[in-house]
Structure 1
Amino acid sequence: MVARSVYFENAVGRVWEEPLHYLRLDYYAAPREEVAFRALLTHALHALVRRGWGKMLIDQRKMAPYSDAERAWMLDEWLPRAIREGGYRYGAVVLAENPFARVSMTRLSLAARELGNTYKTFDTEADAAAWLTQAVVAR
């Protein structure tokens, strides 16, 4: 089996290319600076375009809540581009331990439905990966 490889990493998190044809985005527990946050997601977009997979596992277990500015940028700029340019359609989210971060993700996922992206949340990484590699393929 082919090993996963790191596509990009900075102080906010890491983007992996998974051998089962999806991207993985791991958020770190450290406080986020807006420039580094945007860089991480911009590189994730580049990887979506490069690979054409349209699926991402987002591990938010250690993540702090999104700020209003981060959420607005994601909804107004990043997500529309990721859908249009990268074919991004499915996000499997491993829920944050922080309850405020969970609420923040819920708000984002509800707004993202209008753009044609589907987020599904999971308590475990295994369940998230199974949905991306099995359930999504069946659609």
Structure 2
Amino acid sequence: MQPTASARLYFENNAGRLLEHADGYVVFQYHPGKRNLADLQALLTHTSNLLNRNQWHRLLGDQRLMSPFTEEESAWIKTYWLDSSLQRPGGIYGAIILAHDVFARLAMNQVMHEAKASALTYRLFETEETAVAWLRQLR
């Protein structure tokens, strides 16, 4: 997904980019290739800030080009981002477009399985169209 009239670029670094969608949700897109932890932390922190600033509860996570998480990334996502950053009244609903890379899919599934008290309710999708359709039902 490229920025369009309906989605405006909010933040971008080497790990990925965030878009503000006019329908009231965050679009989180991973860039391909290796990431460093600081870039992933910044991207996820900006995601939390954008959700809070707009009082949104919906997120489209585009993992199609994502590389597998490192152990360090997985640990930070579980202990910081999922357990604390998303703790908001009503929780967060995430429509996740699955990665093309099977190892990236496995890494994401392991992180979500091991997350202890996540306020993220999510569904996995093969296509952007079905993911967006599910988010639209949650208004």
- What does residue 100 of structure 2 align with? 97
Give the one of 70, 81, 86 matched to 1:83: 86
1:12-58 Cα deviation digits (max 9, x unpaired):
11000101111000000021011111111111111011011111101
Q: Which structure's residues are more often helix, by fraction?
A: 1
Q: Distance in 1 between matches of 2:117 and 2:110?
A: 12
* Correspondence 1:111-126 to 2 at 5 A: 111-112=114-115, 114-126=117-129
User: Aligned with 2:44: secondary structure?
Assistant: helix
Give the one of 21, 24, 39 matched to 1:18: 21
Q: Distance in 2 between matches of 1:127 and 1:26?
A: 16
- What does residue 130 of structure 1 align with? 133
- What does residue 53 of structure 2 align with? 50
TM-score (ref. length: structure 1)? 0.88
Report whether the alignment pairs 1:108 with 2:105: no
TM-score (ref. length: structure 2)? 0.88
Q: How many residues align?
A: 135
What is the Cα-based RMSD across aligned positions, in Å? Answer: 1.8
Report whether the alignment pairs 1:30 with 2:33: yes
Distance 1:132 1:113, change over 3 A: farther
Shift of 1:118: 1.2
- What does residue 7 of structure 2 align with? 4
Q: Distance in 2 between matches of 1:88 and 1:25?
A: 17
Instruction: Report if aligned partners of 2:95, 2:134 keep a CA contact under 8 Å in 1.
Output: yes
Instruction: Report if aligned partners of 1:46, 1:86 keep a CA contact under 8 Å in 2.
Output: no
User: Aligned with 1:46: secondary structure?
Assistant: helix
Shift of 1:90: 1.1
1:39-86 Cα deviation digits (max 9, x unpaired):
111111110110111111010101001111111111111122322258
Q: Distance in 2 between matches of 1:98 and 1:74?
A: 19
Unaligned runs of 5+ in 2: none
Letter in 1 for 2:51: L
